Structure 1
Amino acid sequence: MTTALLVIDMQNGFVHPEGSIPLAGRGLPNMDKVIAANAEAISVARSRGVPVIYTRHCYRSDFLDMPALVSGPLPADPPPLVRGSWDADVVDELAPEPGDVIVDKNRFDAFLYTDLEVVLRAKGIENLVVTGVVTSVCVESTVRSGQQRDFTMFIASDATSAPAEQHQPALDAMAAIFGTVGRVVDMLDLAMSERPESKALLAG
């Protein structure tokens, strides 16, 4: 199997109504639909033997690993995204199962300072179908980084979310150079296909 499903940061802190990261009070649009699309993708991936890899954006309890520049104040009570906390956990609807891989990260790019690339190389992964949040931040950062590491990237438009004014522009930017964008089940089908046209699409 050369394809994996990469589920980025679908954590309570970001997508649960009681999570700690309010995204300037706006929340993330269409989260019920996005969670449902992720659940469908995970189910399809498991049924086809496609590895499911989750990332969790989380920090030490003393926050020594937090970037020096963080946009906006963070809530103090409870502290956000602390490793091992409910806030940092994947939402119940998408809970990892035995055999899934979890990669904890403390930067937007899931490859930076983590063992994600080592895990992917060990599994022989060449194609990554990417879902999760936030489209314009951690998803896009990871897609760009993965493409630069010679992984073929497929981005799920229906299983990602960002503030409304950021979501589509981020998808457009990724589609221009860094990967193929479409509905998540279609992206799984395309990534798993051995047809030559699956890579020709990326060349435009």
Structure 2
Amino acid sequence: MVEQPRDLSAFALLLIDIQEDFWTKEIANAFPEFPQKVDELLAFCRREGLDVIHLRAGFKEDQSDWMVRYRLLGRTPCIEGMRGAEILDCAQEKTGEVVIVKQTFDGFLNPRLEEFLEKRNKRYLLVAGLVTSVCVLLTAAAAAQKGYLVNVVEDCCADVPEAHRYALETYPFIFNRTKVSRIDTDWGTWISELEGLR
């Protein structure tokens, strides 16, 4: 029996904030396999032809684009040109991949993201990155509210362990969960979910 090629044209990967300021020593110690898993996820998506969208935090040093809480605190992560804004080696973009810089937790507050997804007819989003309980969760929740099916790749997310676990376990009504090792088998279920919504 000839295996049918899988059609993943409706899928995209949102890779969120894999930057030095969010890759703290505590998180790195708790999730030592994270960089390797992200590398494997990107290899899968690129091999299968999924669009990869890199969402990244980036703030001006003069505070002109800081969220109000950051202004009150007098500090923000990922100031442009500083080491904290640099991308981890495992998450460097390749030519042709979209990079969207954001100044908010929810990536959809930058209209470029939804414009790109709509233009490319995306309906199912894989979401991964840093940190699980903030930008990953809030972007995944926004995607679900905008009508996308969402699957968080949990071993390609990281956070303080308790926050990571809580964010993943508390919201099954917002997103499904997968792991890099399961993507090859889970995709058939995802296709069925999309077909069920036609």
TM-score range, shorter chain: 0.7 to 0.9
Query: TM-score when scaled to structure 1?
Result: 0.81
In structure 2, distance between residues paired with 1:118 and 1:54: 15
- Which residue in the other structure is 2:179 paired with? 183
Say whether residues 1:149 and 2:146 are aligned partners.
yes
Task: Kindly state the Cα deviation for residue 156 of structure 1 after the two structures are TM-superposed.
Answer: 1.0
Say whether residues 1:4 and 2:12 are aligned partners.
yes
In structure 2, distance between residues paired with 1:97 and 1:192: 27
**CA deviation profile, 1:42-101 (whole Å, cap 9, x unmatched):** 0111011111111111112212111111399566xxx74122444213212221110111
Give the unaligned 5+ runs of structure 2. Answer: 1-8
Task: Kindly state the Cα deviation for residue 167 of structure 1 after the two structures are TM-superposed.
Answer: 0.8
In structure 2, distance between residues paired with 1:167 and 1:6: 18
In 1, are the aligned partners of 2:27 and 2:158 still within 8 Å (CA)? no
- Which residue in the other structure is 1:104 paired with? 101
Task: Kindly state the Cα deviation for residue 32 of structure 1 after the two structures are TM-superposed.
Answer: 3.0
Name the SS of the counterpart of 1:115 in structure 2. helix
In structure 1, distance between residues paired with 2:106 and 2:20: 19
Give the CA RMSD over aligned residues: 2.6
Q: How does 1:1-204 map to 2 (within 5 A)?
A: 1-15=9-23, 26-70=26-70, 73=73, 80-175=77-172, 177-187=173-183, 190-191=186-187, 195-197=191-193
Query: TM-score when scaled to structure 2?
Result: 0.84
Q: Which has the higher helix share?
A: 2
Amino acid at match of 2:47: S
Task: Kindly state the Cα deviation for residue 142 of structure 1 after the two structures are TM-superposed.
Answer: 0.3
In 2, are the aligned partners of 1:154 and 1:187 still within 8 Å (CA)? no
In 1, are the aligned partners of 2:27 and 2:161 still within 8 Å (CA)? no
User: Which structure 1 residue ranges, 4+ long, deviate > 6 Å from structure 2?
Assistant: none
